[in-house]
Amino acid sequence: MTAAAKPRTEILISGFGGQGVIRMGQILGLAAIKQGHRVTMLKSHGTETRGGYVRAQLVISPDYVDSPVVENADVFVAFSAPAYKKFFDHCRGKILYDPEMVEDVRAEGPERHVAVPATQLAKERFNNVLFANMIMLGALTRLSGLDYEAMKKAMLEVIPRFHEQNLAALDVGYTLPALIPA
Amino acid sequence: MSTLAPAVSEQLVAPWVEWARRYTRGRRLLEAGTYALTEGAIAAGCRVFAGYPITPATDIAEYMSKRLPQVGGYYVQCEDELAGMHACAGASLGGLKAMTATSGPGYTLMHDAYGWSITNEIPLVVVDAMRVGPISGITGAPGQGEFYIARYASHGGNFETIVLSPSSVQEAFWLTIDAFNLAERFRTPVTILTDQVISDMWEDLFIPEDYDALDFVVPRKNNLMMPFYPVGSADLDVPPNVIGHGTGVCVSAYTHTEEGYDIEEMEAQWAQTYRLINKIRHHRDQLTRYETVGVEDADVIAVAYGANARTVKTGVLEARRRGVRAGFVRLITLWPFPDELFERDVPYVVCELNYDGQLVREVMRSAPDGKKVRFMGKSAELHTVAEVAAGLEGVARTGRIPELPYIWTEVR
Amino acid sequence: MNRLAKKYLRPSQIPTKACHGCGIGMIENWLLQAIDEMGLKQDDVIFGTGIGCVGRQTFATWGGDNFGATHGRALAVATGLKLAQPDKKYLIVVGDGDAASIGTSHLIHAARRNLGVTVICEDNMGYESTGGQFSPTTPAGYVTNSSPYGMVEPGFDPCDVVKAAGATFVAETTATQWHQTVKIVKKALANDGFSFVHVRFPCNENFGAYALGTRDTLKNLEWIYEHTQGRKADGTDADFTWETGIKHDASNSRPEFSRLMRDMNARVKADMKAKQK
Amino acid sequence: MALFKAEKKAPKGPAGRWDVVIGEDMCKACGFCLSVCPVDVFAYRKAPNKIGWFPMYTAHEENCIGCMLCYQICPDFCIDVSVKSTAVATV
């Protein structure tokens, strides 16, 4: 390891417990590792297993990551209104939010906000909100220009069941028309 | 995030620097610190885990319950931590390498067994995943409150302890093997003092593919003869006596003779104490592990260990970017305390996760001028990069740490 | 030195540190008889003790491997040791403090697991090595150094506790029942599981002096005898009677702890092999 | 009924065929052997042993009937009772 400058990417994902926040971070992290990056992921949550806030802080870097704390996120994924409010100031880059969960969006930086209707799409396409996190991950992959194939591979490794639906959900997010540059 | 003009010297002094260079075939995973601690133990030949679940060390117990039967080992979920560490000591006496894992509230319960294991020179490893206190505190927040408890891990005095602290998931893996090696070599319990952040954090982790091929793992050797140890000798290579081979081993809680018989004579007490203390003090060169950044030319040096060292190191680099010649010392071996790392007569800024100030007192003692040692204590949360940089800048320019919210600077 | 002491004990540790007339040596002598009659050798038995009179006096007298744990933790140590050395016989000789007070949780859980050890609880009805305080087995009303107005707390019977916890062999004797104790210890050692033998014996220096009002070794052993028989020498009933004999015998009725662990490991290994194929 | 018998009986039956050996240096003079013995075998020494007790010794070995009570009750592993080698030859 060296103390030389190193580009680091900070990603912050937060929402309620049970929304698959940690799973999303895990897949993202593993995909980065498969491509030879170094990754840290801090996860923090309230004491309750379901319902409280859950946060995953990922740092991806080509070299050893010193501080694992996300202080200025390049991407912030907000799955809930409290999470959006709590961590808005920790982000200086893009904010992906689920408009069904986060209704009041701050006025500043409209160009940074990207609405991904993950919950709504999950309900429509799969009749199950549990797939919202994969739709969001697909969208994040597109938006951040990450390797889609690596993401799919990592997803299959991390998630034990329902591979076909999850792949389909990932695809829904990745091919979201609003995100594809004209 | 930062661009450094001149190259800064960096040094990591630890045996796993070489290990990592030699063993490159394996798997790369995204795993938690608890997983790394477990796999490290399995790789080191640990075959017994006895303990009691406690957050944030619980996952170690869970991983162990899955892994140990696969390698012919035993997972025992005990009635309490007292039983846990005693059962580990028993298993180690019977010839199996053993480990237990706990957090602060359980660690204090283990002191009884810790002292027994020290006195009887039983090798084993104890993981303490520190969380913020006092007492039960917050289960999901890091703390560094057991720095001194780990040193004085039992009553009665007259012993030295070995305490190591990892600051990444990868390091937790190698360091656990190292802890087992030191336990075997020095015939004593070794504490791995980690914290909630490192144990819960997920990070890229390299695991070598074949544990049996790791030639640096110190194997368990059995001393199949009396006496228990050669009296007055510092011969460390006397391997542990093992119960169950009919050698007439005596393992006693009391001060004992070289045969292990309890005795109430001062000469025996002195001989035992001499051995227990000096087998560690006289071999500090084999025990000190640390990391430094730019200490040679530094005007101010930040000191930290564990998870906290991660943000402190980034803070040091940030201070450098702002034109402050800052250095960084990360302790990996906490005890025996590496006094020699604090030889330069410059201000030291000690960042630790408590408000009472523990590590800072040792730095004050070993630095040439204790009055120049500054304290930045924070509770339940890692220092931010901004805080550390501001602190170092303040000390370098004005000799004082600026007022920062939630940072305590007073040491009484 | 008698023939069994010569065969099994360490000459350097005899005489023990026990006070004169202490029952600890008597009981140990009977343990030796049981071991000898079962044809066990020094190497076959691991002798574990705790702290207090029983721990201190019996520790290191056994010629084979010994351990003296911290107070109450002998069974916790034995739990780990049994996994590492499953084929040995374990004699865990502890006092009433170790078994019935400070180490009760370990006693209960060792019984629950059916850990393959034989616990001999040598009970002198108080904490005598610290000068004679009451313990959970001190009879109600008796005066000790910490119950100067009589023991007000109710006591409990450790035999009931371990039986409820799942011990597979439970028995009680006293220091005046030598043949019975030898027979019972033999049965206890033959049980591949958790055996508990509760043996009451006299302390002259403390319990005798304060609770019974005499340091006369004969009178104190006579007191034990009276409460074993339920009748005093003059033919009147004693104030209470200990129920002695085998209280529960389910020897070898359920698998021993370390056996269960090894069986599970074999199962896991077999499953792993099957999956690899 | 008492454990100890104050009055000793005259030996009957196979008396005189036994060796009664006492390790006097390890005896703590509790008196159990003397009291439990149904016949008259034991007596106290008039001089202390090296651990400071006035130990028991075999005063009348010829009275021993081989009941082994002393062997069973001795708390300090002192006493051994065995068939006399000469007696073995005559049996």
CB-CB under 8 Å, C67 with B249: yes
pLDDT in tens, C108-142: 999 999 999 999 999 999 999 999 999 999 999 99
Instruction: Determine contact, residues B341/B293, Cβ cutoff 8 Å.
Output: no
Cα–Cα–Cα angle for C201, C207, C209, rounded to 5 degrees: 125
Among B2-6, B204-208, B358-362, the minimum mean pLDDT is found in: B2-6
Cα dihedral C56, C57, C61, C62 in deg (nearest 10):
-80
CB-CB under 8 Å, A1 with B10: yes
Inform me whether the pLDDT recorded for B277 exceeds 50. Answer: yes
Mean pLDDT of B66-82: 97
Domain boundaries, chain B: 15-213, 290-398
Query: Among residues B264, B246, B244, which one has the least CA distance to residue B255?
Result: B264
Q: What is the 3-state secondary structure (H, E, C) of chain B?
A: CCCCCCCCCEEEECCHHHHHHHCCCEEEEEEEHHHHHHHHHHHCCEEEEEECCCCCCHHHHHHHHHHHHHCCCEEEECCCHHHHHHHHHHHHHCCCEEEEEECHHHHHHCHHHHHHHHHCCCCEEEEEEEEECCCCCEEEEECCCCHHHHHCCCCCCCCCCEEECCCCHHHHHHHHHHHHHHHHHHCCEEEEEEEHHHHHCEEEEEEECCHHHCCCCCCCCCECCCCCCCCCCCCCCCCCECCCCCCCCEECCCCECCCCCECCCHHHHHHHHHHHHHHHHCCHHHCCCEEEECCCCCCEEEEEECCHHHHHHHHHHHHHHCCCCEEEEEECEEECCCHHHHCCCCCEEEEECCCCCCHHHHHHHHCCCHHHEEEEECCCCCCCHHHHHHHHHHHHHHCCCCCCCCCECCCC
In angstroms, the CA C50 to CA C55 distance is 4
Instruction: Determine contact, residues B385/B314, Cβ cutoff 8 Å.
Output: yes
Query: Among residues B212, B164, B218, B221, which one has the least CA distance to residue B43?
Result: B212
Tokens of B77: 């979920």
* Total tally of structural domains belonging to chain A: 1
The pLDDT of residue A161? 87
Strand B373-377 to B348-352 pairing: parallel
Tokens of B397: 């320019």
Phi, psi torsion values for B157, nearest 5 degrees: 65, -165
* Nearest C-alpha in C relative to D3: C222
Instruction: For chain A, state the CA radius of gyration.
Output: 15
**Domains (range + CATH), chain C:** 3-276 (3.40.50.970)
- Decide if A182 is inside a domain: no
Element (H, E) at D36: helix D32-36
Cα–Cα–Cα angle for B173, B176, B177, rounded to 5 degrees: 95
The distance of B85 to chain A (nearest Cα, Å) reads: 28
Inform me whether the pLDDT recorded for A6 exceeds 70. Answer: no
Which residues from chain B sit within 8 angstroms of residue C77, using beta carbons? 86-87, 89-90, 93
Instruction: Determine contact, residues B150/B163, Cβ cutoff 8 Å.
Output: yes
Close Cβ partners of B244 (under 8 Å, ≥ 6 residues apart): B94, B95, C46, C65, C81, C84, C85, C88
> B130 has which bridge partners?
B195
pLDDT in tens, A119-165: 999 999 999 999 999 999 999 999 888 899 999 999 999 998 889 99
The pLDDT of residue A108? 85
CATH number of B15-213: 3.40.50.970
Regarding predicted confidence, which is higher, C147 or A177?
C147
The pLDDT of residue B359? 98
CB-CB under 8 Å, C60 with B252: yes
Q: How many CA atoms lie within 13 A of B389 on its CB side?
A: 15
Which residues from chain D sit within 8 angstroms of residue C30, using beta carbons? 72
Q: What is the ipTM of this complex?
A: 0.93
The pLDDT of residue B229? 66
Output the tens digit of pLDDT for each of chain D's 91 residues.
578 877 888 877 777 889 999 999 999 999 999 999 999 999 999 999 999 999 999 999 999 999 999 999 999 999 999 998 765 544 4
Regarding predicted confidence, which is higher, B165 or B240?
B165
Question: Has domain B290-398 been given CATH number 3.40.50.920?
Answer: yes
Q: Does C70 touch chain B (CB under 8 A)?
A: yes
Mean pLDDT of B8-22: 95
User: pLDDT band at B226, cuts 50/70/90?
Assistant: low
CB-CB under 8 Å, B311 with A33: no
Q: How many CA atoms lie within 13 A of B213 on its CB side?
A: 10
CB pairs under 8 A between B and C: 149
CB-CB under 8 Å, D29 with C29: no
Tokens of C56: 């201190």
Peptide bond before B53: cis, by omega within 30 degrees of 0? no
Q: Does C97 touch chain B (CB under 8 A)?
A: no
User: pLDDT band at A5, cuts 50/70/90?
Assistant: very low
Percent of chain C with pLDDT over 90: 95
Instruction: Determine contact, residues B21/B46, Cβ cutoff 8 Å.
Output: no
Close Cβ partners of C67 (under 8 Å, ≥ 6 residues apart): B90, B93, B243, B249, B250, B251, B252, C46, C47, C48, C49, C74, C77, C81
User: pLDDT band at A2, cuts 50/70/90?
Assistant: very low
CB-CB under 8 Å, B7 with A67: no
Close Cβ partners of D62 (under 8 Å, ≥ 6 residues apart): D11, D15, D16
The pLDDT of residue C152? 95
pLDDT in tens, B111-165: 999 999 999 999 999 999 999 999 999 888 999 999 999 999 999 999 999 999 9
* Domain of residue A69, CATH code: 3.40.920.10
Mean pLDDT of A47-66: 81
Q: What topology is assigned to D20-90 in CATH?
A: Alpha-Beta Plaits (3.30.70)
> D57 has which bridge partners?
D43
Q: Does C10 touch chain B (CB under 8 A)?
A: yes
Query: Among residues A133, A143, A128, which one has the least CA distance to residue A178?
Result: A143
In angstroms, the CA B54 to CA B102 distance is 6
C-beta neighbour count of C78 within 10 angstroms: 28
Query: Among residues B269, C5, B410, which one has the least CA distance to residue D22?
Result: C5
The pLDDT of residue B411? 93
The pLDDT of residue A1? 34
> B193 has which bridge partners?
B128
Mean pLDDT of B300-307: 97
Close Cβ partners of B134 (under 8 Å, ≥ 6 residues apart): B145
**Which A residues 1-20 touch B at CB under 8 Å?**
1-6, 8
Q: Residue B22, class by beta-carbon neighbours within 10 Å (0-12 exposed, 13-18 middle, 19+ buried)?
A: exposed
In angstroms, the CA A167 to CA B125 distance is 43
Instruction: Determine contact, residues B116/B262, Cβ cutoff 8 Å.
Output: no
Query: Among residues B254, B274, B280, which one has the least CA distance to residue B160?
Result: B280
Q: Do domains B15-213 and B290-398 have the same CATH topology?
A: yes
CB-CB under 8 Å, C73 with B116: yes
Residue D56, classed as helix, strand or coil, is strand
Q: What is the 3-state secondary structure (H, E, C) of chain C?
A: CCHHHHHHECHHHCCCCCCCCCCHHHHHHHHHHHHHHCCCCHHHEEEEECCHHHHHHHCCCECCCEEECCCCCHHHHHHHHHHHCCCCEEEEEEEHHHHHHHCHHHHHHHHHHCCCCEEEEEECCCECCCCCECCCCCCCCCCECCECCCCCCCCCCHHHHHHHHCCCEEEEEECCCHHHHHHHHHHHHHCCCCEEEEEECCCHHHHHHHHHCCCCHHHHHHHHHHHHHCECCCCCECCCCCCCEEEEECCCCCCCHHHHHHHHHHHHHHHHHHHHC
Mean pLDDT of B313-331: 96
pLDDT in tens, A22-34: 999 999 999 999 9
Q: Which residues of C98-124 are buried (b: 16+ CB within 10 A; e: fewer)?
A: bbbbbbbbbbbbbbbbbbbbbbbbbbb
Percent of chain B with pLDDT over 90: 83
Q: Which residue pairs from C231-239 have beta carbons closer than 8 angstroms and sit at least 24 positions apart in sequence?
A: C231/D1, C233/D1, C233/D2, C239/C139
Query: Touching A: which chains, 3+ CB pairs < 8 A?
Result: B
CB-CB under 8 Å, B244 with C46: yes
Query: Touching B: which chains, 3+ CB pairs < 8 A?
Result: A, C
Instruction: Determine contact, residues C8/C42, Cβ cutoff 8 Å.
Output: yes
Mean pLDDT for back-to-back runs of 10 residues, chain C (277 residues):
94 90 95 97 95 91 94 96 96 96 96 97 95 95 95 94 97 96 97 98 95 95 95 92 96 97 97 92
The pLDDT of residue D7? 81
